[in-house]
Amino acid sequence: MEFPDLHDRSIGIVSLPFVYETEDGWSWQANSEGYWNIWICLEGNAIVECDGIEYAVQPWTAFLFSDDSKIVGHSRADTKRMRNFGMHISLGAKNAQLLRGRLLGIQLHEVDVVNSCINSAIRLSTYRDTFAELQLQALTVNMLGLLWRESIQPVQTDAAWLIYRQLDRIHSGQDMFRTVEELAAEANLSRIHYGRCFRELTNESPNRYLILKRVERACVLLAQTDWAVDAVAQSIGYNDIYFFSRQFRKVMGCTPTQYREHRCQAD
């Protein structure tokens, strides 16, 4: 997957995040007037036109309107009030060049994560200390990352979406120890069908992918801690140190001990 080279220190908060409701039969027209706007529909349905292109809006449709966007919106005939989240930010020239026109009409799937970000942002907006400012900036980067991932992931099926969610958890270490059978059952697929879908999304089999991520974690622990090799093995789900060493050698071309010695010499 392609990820942006985002310059997070260039991101600033222009106005504090807010949630607002529209009136029945609403319509509006606006320019961003020098700031960017993260805008997420929480309830309702609408049509939003940005720079001449129309987007159908439903709950959890998200936009990053640029600082020179011309925006027109109106509710659909069968919709009354809407509830929306908005946040005005500055991006900096490099980020603006990267993201301009890229994050419009994105349908968010990680609803729980997005909702948690929004609630945290609103809560932080009540504080006026440096910690709150830094936390709010980090949440803003997180929301931009969510929009970006949704914009580039070719999620076409429920199974694909579930596997993407599993990949996120594997990367964070939560699902690193689960078996392929457990992951396939969660996706409601046979192991063979699950493996086929998984390979289409990652170019690796599920078992190989899990091994690579476990070994990747082991490399970090071997380089950054003084844990014994058996402790490293157990921390990533291997009770048999000899089996762990064989798996590690297949991936890295050396034993865990040799890897640690090489890293110590390099440092």
Give the contacts of 159 (CB within 8 A, at least 6 positions apart): 187, 188, 189, 193, 194, 197
Provide the pLDDT for residue 181. 92
Quote the percentage of the chain above a pLDDT of 70: 93
Provide the pLDDT for residue 75. 81
**Does residue 164 have a pLDDT over 70?**
yes
Provide the pLDDT for residue 257. 93
Q: What is the mean pLDDT of residues 70-95?
A: 85
Over residues 30-49, the pLDDT tens digits come to 776 789 999 999 988 888 99
Quote the percentage of the chain above a pLDDT of 90: 44
* Sequence ranges of the domains in the chain: 8-152, 158-203, 215-266
Provide the pLDDT for residue 154. 58
Q: What is the mean pLDDT of residues 16-20?
A: 91
Give the contacts of 258 (CB within 8 A, at least 6 positions apart): none
CATH 1.10.10.60 fits 215-266, yes or no: yes
Q: What is the mean pLDDT of residues 128-135?
A: 90
Over residues 214-236, the pLDDT tens digits come to 999 999 999 999 999 999 999 88
Provide the pLDDT for residue 1. 47
Strand partners, 162: none
Identify the DSSP state of 254.
S
* Span of 16-20, 57-61, 173-177 with lowest mean pLDDT: 173-177
**Which residue type, as a one-letter code, is found at position 70?**
K
Identify the DSSP state of 59.
T
Q: What is the mean pLDDT of residues 187-207?
A: 90
**Does residue 173 have a pLDDT over 70?**
yes
Question: 8-152 has which CATH code?
Answer: 2.60.120.280
Say how far apart CA 198 and CA 167 lie, in whole Å: 10
Model confidence, pTM: 0.62
Over residues 97-117, the pLDDT tens digits come to 888 888 999 988 888 888 999
